[in-house]
Amino acid sequence: MELISENRAFGGRHCRYTHASAVNNCDMTFAVFLPPFASKDNPVPVLYWLSGLTCTDENFMQKAGAMKMAAELGMAIVAPDTSPRGDDVADSQGEYDLGKGAGFYVNATESPWKQHYQMYSYITEELPELVEANLPVTRERAISGHSMGGHGALVIGLRNPQQYVSVSAFSPISHPLDCPWGHKALGAYLGDNRTAWEEYDASLLLAQRQHYIPLLVEQGRADQFLTEQLKPESLINAAQKSETQLTLNMHEGYDHSYFFIASFIDEHLQFHAGHLGLM
């Protein structure tokens, strides 16, 4: 890990790192907030935050206003980039919803994407192993995200309940098999095999069986992507089908922006802190 920058914040530290990723075959960047008193002798649990389309590791840390509450709770936050980067990494020119900035947290199987776009394995395996080996954190993890990252957090949490104590999402892409963003990304990265797509659809995963991992979702009713892309009702129907407990809060007047995230991020941090044993 190579330190890019370090800033003092709320008594803790915000750091950006780069490292060579064996999974993605390129250099990857991530940010971490370490709360006050986090040390080798006092490691702290981690919330992994997955950002949405076009974002990098910087969006959440700079816009969400999460560090003050994280400092008070004694929680680290790790925010990875949303895709591989670099001159050799495949991209889709002029399309914000495919390629760089749009990794969709899947393991691509199709060319030219499969050489670098292994974001599922990066988030579930390589990144936490790196973080836990080099930073003062425990193996206790929670996961959250926004939009494409909300999709990623739900899918990763539902598929790996042994790795995360709780899952939350803001404005997630809830049913990618039934929306344009999902069709485009999953079709490109995974090909025509719809069975492979199903492994990355939170609504389908939620409906398959009862889940016991705590789930919290926020959604704004004024979100411009609500009807065509996000489809939160799919999560409600899936949770009812599997008899899984899901809290979905709908908010009048809120849109898809970081203004929405900043308005309710404290509640999500407290939700995760309760399950991480910090409250």
Instruction: Quick: pLDDT tens for 185-234.
Output: 999 999 999 999 999 999 999 999 999 999 999 999 999 999 999 999 99
Q: What is the Cβ-side half-sphere exposure of residue 201, based on CA atoms within 13 angstroms?
A: 24
Looking at residue 210, what DSSP letter applies?
-
2-276 under CATH 3.40.50.1820, yes or no: yes
Q: Which of 70, 83, 168 is nearest to 117 (CA)?
A: 83
- pLDDT tens digit sequence for 22-58: 999 999 999 999 999 999 999 999 999 999 999 999 9
pTM over 0.85: yes
Residues of the chain with pLDDT > 90, as a percent, come to: 99
- Tell me whether strands 12-21 and 44-50 are parallel, antiparallel or unpaired: unpaired
Residues of the chain with pLDDT > 70, as a percent, come to: 100
d(CA 59, CA 56): 6
Catalytic, out of 175, 256, 268, 272? 256
Q: What is the mean pLDDT of the chain?
A: 97
Q: What is the Cβ-side half-sphere exposure of residue 144, based on CA atoms within 13 angstroms?
A: 30
Q: Is 19 exposed, middle or buried (0-12, 13-18, 19+ CB in 10 A)?
A: middle
Instruction: Report how far apart the first and last C-alpha atoms of the chain are (Å, whole number).
Output: 31
> Beta-strand (E) ranges in 114-267?
137-145, 167-170, 215-220, 247-251
**3-state secondary structure at position 252:** coil
| Arithmetic mean of pLDDT, 154-172 | 98
Catalytic, out of 21, 83, 144, 147? 147
Give the DSSP per-residue string, 78-130. Answer: EEE-SS--STTS---TT-TTSBTTB-TT-B--STTTTTT-BHHHIIIIIHHHH
Question: Would you call 256 a catalytic residue per the annotation?
Answer: yes
Question: Would you call 147 a catalytic residue per the annotation?
Answer: yes
Domain boundaries, the chain: 2-276
Catalytic, out of 97, 223, 234, 272? 223
Question: Would you call 251 a catalytic residue per the annotation?
Answer: no
Question: What is the per-residue pLDDT for 118?
Answer: 98
